[in-house]
Amino acid sequence: MVKLIRTLFGLILQSTIYFISFAIVSQYWVYHLELLSGIKKATPMLNHYEHLLPLFHQLNPVCNIMAQRQFS
């Protein structure tokens, strides 16, 4: 019974971390769209920014998993 409770708690914790990560990435995406909505012409610097931004979005869940392992 205790093992089942620990397993369920771990599953709930992982799911919560996943959904929080998803919410953070979604928030970044909305802000990103708001930031770039007024731009009429793209510059090379903007193109570099567009390619770097998804990299940081992809690192967010990895950092959350590392933090979960660190503190559990």
Cα dihedral 58, 51, 26, 8, rounded to 10, equals -10
**What pLDDT score does 72 carry?**
64
Give the 3-state secondary structure percentages of the chain, helix then strand then coil, rounded to 5.
Answer: 90, 0, 10
CA distance 46 to 60: 22
Average pLDDT (16-43) is 82
CA distance 25 to 54: 9
Residue range(s) defining the domain that contains residue 38: 2-71
Is 33's pLDDT higher than 70?
yes
- pTM equals 0.50
Half-sphere exposure of 49 (CA within 13 A, CB side): 8
Number of domains in the chain: 1
